[in-house]
Chain A
Amino acid sequence: MGIPLKVNGTIHDVDVEPDAPLLWVIRDELHLTGTKFGCGIAACGACTVHVNGKAVRSCSVPVGSVAGAEIRTIEALGANGLEAVQQAWIAHQVPQCGYCQSGMIMAVSALLAEHPAPTDEQLAAAITNICRCGTLSRIRAAVRDLAMKKSAAGARS
């Protein structure tokens, strides 16, 4: 009777209306609060999660539309050792208040999966998330660093 929701590898049977926003089901039914609410209209990216590997703004996704899909939240990212993007975020001391960073990291992680060494233009086009504290220049520096390492590794292999 519920909706089968596969989040971070576990299937949950959630008793909610199909039009309930995925964001609030993740937060208030599954109690995974790392995914944040910012605008409710897919304008800011704070709620970004992965659905079948793609970055999706979960505040505007009806939960019924992702039944059975592979959903991944920040809690799963680096659960077994931090991923490169998270390490880069620490190395570059990116977060300030940190509230937007779950969404930023999920969005960048999905971008890197597609373009392991994105250019500045690819980054700016793909990552339109909002950060009010103003960590954008460090985000760019962190991604440039990741891209450079990836390019260097590619050149060696």
Chain B
Amino acid sequence: MNRRKFLVGGATAAGALIVGYAVWPSARLSKADAMAAGPGERFLATWIKIASDGTITVVVPHCDMGTGIYTALAQMAADELDADWTKVRAETAPCDPLFANSALAEGFGLEELHVSPDGIPRLFAGPTIGTMRIIAEHMDLQTTGGSSAVRFTGVYGMRVAGAAVREMLLEAAAARMNAAVRDFRTENSRVVHTASGTSFGYGELAREAANYSPSAHPKLKEKSTYKLVGEPVPRLDIPAKVNGATKYGIDTQMPDMLYGTIRISPAFGGKLVSADESRVAEHRGVKKVVKLDDAVVVVADRLWRARKAMEALDPAFDTGGQGDVSSETIREMHLGGLRSGEIKRDRKTGDPTEALNNGSVIERIYNVPYLAHAAMEPVNATVLFKKVGTLEVWAGTQDGLGSRAFCAKAAGLPMEKVTFHLTPSGGGYGRRLPGLWNFLTYAVETAKAVPGVPVKLLFNREQDMQHDFYRPNVTSRFRATVDKDGWPLAWVNDYTTDDDPNPEAHIVYRVPNQAYGTVKLPAHVPTGPWRSVEASWHGFFVESFIDELAHEAKRDALEYRVGLLEGQPRHAATLKLAAEKAGWASPLPAGCGRGIAMVESFGTIVVHVAEVEVKDAGAVNVRRFTTAADCGMAVNPDGFKAQMEGGIIFGLSAALHGEITIERGAVVQQNFPDFDVVRLAECPEIHVHIHESDAPLGGAGEPGIPPVAPAVTNAIFAATGQRIRELPVKKHDLKKVPLAS
């Protein structure tokens, strides 16, 4: 039905070779050709440009929020390309459908279908890629999330693009010398004629190479011949991050721009009741009070003037009928739902009911709280709306193309009237993903109230914290029976959800009879993906309960886990590596304990061993984290370790301190003192070890987090005998008491 066509960029005026894979439905061909005739970058199909001076630019369809993916993706493309790394750059792809990330669609699609790329018959591979391209465009897909950049964009996009460009350069050189392609090799950004030694730089071949079509199936390197992949090359973005040069969304500056500050109804669902503009009529610099359904924005010539005016304005809101909701009512709702609500079964193996009926049931209930993302750069966007019907937006989000489409819809404009400039983000962790774009909505509405002038709408920290989309509050109940040696026979896990059942609940441990079920009980609190998403709660639940079963069985926590991992050699090996490096069996001083936890998420297995000291007065000091992780192979081992380290600190902040609570339908916490995080004084020693395997490449940004909390609470149990089943740790009094039985 859809015609296939490779969209190949020709040589641009600058002498750049632009290569892309795109499989275009015929209806779009004319549009593509029209765009092709336009100047340079507008037409760039995808991922790789080579300039006449030999500079290679990898165009990345992701945002930079600090996980090092620009470097890792450039490494993957450059390695296949046999590029001279010193000539490689990375830049952000334009927020245009031409750069929709088909590789991401392919990766997510294959994952969803549980098909490996090798499982697709070659006959269908082309149409599959084409379909993914169309899906990516229709979804406006340029998402950065799901720890997907390296394992999807890199594997299905960058490597293939790099290898295809290399083949085109070979063909160009062969044509120049009227020789066969097989007579040439590539090295360090040059094509070399093997017999004569004559060679051409990639820059000088770029224009001619652009005349060839990139293969959808170029020959990819064997792992043993990688030169850049697997190397800890320094990150390309870091130099501009030590001198204040990187420009984030908040740094957008334009002459005569205005600044907006917002106050949203404290209770979710509440409406604006009153905002008396006369109170700010005399305020210097105030330009406009924008009254919205559930919020008010003060626009002024300077931000502090807008903020001061907001204090004076002191708007009033109602509670949207949610004034009775509190953390306590949500807790009662969860417990009641698990006790007597309708449980929807989503998976069953063996006969768990029979097994539960025939043994002594071990039952435990766990809970995790709502959590804010609290990225250091509060959400913001700068928007210029013009009465002629155009919109221009500057912001850091986790999906540039999706943001553009979203802003177009918010403004009631066609997408082609909207320009979106994607900036680096001062942290994302999910907060800037599609579905969580309240800041874009408010910014567009504000801009429409002051047409012709760019306005930067910045949430202050209090608004950012109180109007987030939170990691859900989840309650989970386990029931198990064990055999005479303590090994589990039945594992029945029912938990509350805001949404669908989570595959992340399913265990890797061998238990003959398993059942999983959910009771859907969303509160009015908006929720969304938070770094490691579902794994962030099921990791804590599963790894706490398995630890409890090990204790009940009077078995060592490591030995018990390994004993249930028959047929899972990667998991077992990663566990053993972490334990060995941590000195698992070595003695510790009184008051100290070790805990272990393992979670596989986003294709990566991570095991943490936490070593904690609990002082007599109850203070918890997390002394050390020893980590082993299997992500197949780390494209950039130092970058991978940095993500594990960062994940540990992010997860530790949540485990020890993180808690968003609700009173009168609104969030209680306002700023960092009441939503505290780990700082240097609480930062443990961290040692990360990579367990290499032949598994497909796994993610890095998120998988470090899920095993953090259970490793810590299991260690607290080892140190004190006190089992923490509700996070965060700070809620619990750990003062020294006689050991619980």
Contacts and interface: CB of A to CB of B under 8 A. Distances in A.
Partners in one complex: yes
Interface of A: 16-17, 20-21, 24, 27-29, 31-41, 43-44, 46, 73-75, 77-78, 82, 86, 89-90, 93-102, 105, 123-125, 127-140
Majority secondary structure, A binding face: loop
Contact of B672 (A43, A102, A124): A43
B427 A137 contact: no
Contact of A96 (B68, B458, B653, B680): B68
B234 interface: yes
B66 A137 contact: no
A46 B683 contact: no
B702 to A, nearest CB: 12
A16 to B, nearest CB: 7
Contacts of B677: 130, 132
By Cβ-Cβ distance, the 4 closest A-B pairs, closest first, are A34-B244, A99-B426, A97-B66, A134-B649
Given A39-B461, A133-B650, A34 B245 contact: yes
A128 B426 contact: no
B236 to A, nearest CB: 11
Contacts of B378: 37-38
A129 B648 CA distance: 17
B723 interface: no
A24 B672 contact: no
B672 A97 contact: no
23 contacts: A16-B302, A27-B251, A31-B253, A37-B378, A37-B458, A39-B461, A43-B673, A46-B376, A86-B242, A90-B238, A93-B642, A95-B242, A96-B66, A97-B375, A97-B427, A98-B238, A98-B426, A100-B376, A124-B680, A133-B66, A134-B649, A135-B645, A137-B686
B204 to A, nearest CB: 33
Contacts of A130: 376, 672, 677, 679
A136 B376 contact: no
A35 B251 CA distance: 10
A36 B426 contact: yes
B663 interface: no
B242 A82 contact: yes
B686 A74 contact: no
B460 A40 contact: yes
Majority secondary structure, B binding face: loop
B645 A137 contact: yes
A93 B638 contact: yes
Contacts of A17: 284, 304
Given A29-B302, A93-B234, A133-B66, 15 more contacts: A24-B303, A31-B253, A36-B248, A38-B378, A38-B461, A39-B461, A41-B671, A93-B639, A97-B65, A97-B428, A98-B66, A98-B240, A124-B679, A129-B679, A135-B649
B288 interface: no
Contact of A98 (B237, B374, B678, B681): B237
B15 interface: no
Given A40-B461, A96-B67, A130-B672, A136 B242 contact: no
B136 to A, nearest CB: 25
Contact of B248 (A35, A99, A124, A140): A99
Interface in B656-697: 671-673, 677-681, 683-686
Contact of A134 (B65, B243, B428, B647): B647
Contacts of A35: 244
A93 B240 CA distance: 12
Contacts, number: 178
B672 A105 contact: no
Interface in B272-324: 284, 302-304
A99 B427 contact: yes
A137 B682 CA distance: 10
B66 A21 contact: no
A95 B241 contact: yes
A96 B646 contact: yes
B706 to A, nearest CB: 15
B343 to A, nearest CB: 36
Contacts of B638: 93
Contacts of A86: 242-243
Contacts of B240: 98
Contacts of B681: 124-125, 128
B634 to A, nearest CB: 14
B315 to A, nearest CB: 19
Contacts of A82: 242-243
B675 to A, nearest CB: 10
Contact of B234 (A16, A90, A128): A90
A39 B686 CA distance: 28
B583 interface: no
A40 B311 CA distance: 14
A31 B251 CA distance: 9
A140 B680 contact: yes
Q: Which one of B244, B374, B653 has the highest number of Cβ atoms from chain A below 10 Å of its Cβ?
A: B244
Contact of B680 (A16, A75, A123): A123
A156 B247 CA distance: 42
Nearest to A78: B243
A136 B680 contact: yes
Interface string B404-448: 000000000000000000001111110000000000000000000
A37 B303 CA distance: 12
B250 interface: yes
A28 B239 contact: no
A95 B426 CA distance: 11
B244 A33 contact: yes
B646 A133 contact: yes
Q: Which one of A27, A37, A125 has the highest number of Cβ atoms from chain B below 10 Å of its Cβ?
A: A37
B302 A38 contact: no
A79 to B, nearest CB: 8
A145 B650 CA distance: 24
A28 B680 contact: no
A9 to B, nearest CB: 16
A139 B646 CA distance: 12
Contacts of A98: 66, 237-238, 240-241, 246, 424, 426
A75 B245 CA distance: 8
B510 interface: no
Contacts of A74: 243-244
Contacts of A138: 642, 645
Contact of A95 (B66, B259, B303, B685): B66
B376 A99 contact: yes
Contact of A102 (B244, B259, B645): B244
A90 B685 CA distance: 20
Interface in B211-251: 234-235, 237-248, 250-251
Interface in B442-458: 458
B394 to A, nearest CB: 13
Contacts of A89: 238, 242
B377 interface: yes
Contacts of B679: 124, 127-130, 136
Q: Which one of A35, A75, A101, A137 has the highest number of Cβ atoms from chain B below 10 Å of its Cβ?
A: A137
A118 to B, nearest CB: 11
A93 B680 contact: no
A46 B376 CA distance: 8
B464 to A, nearest CB: 9
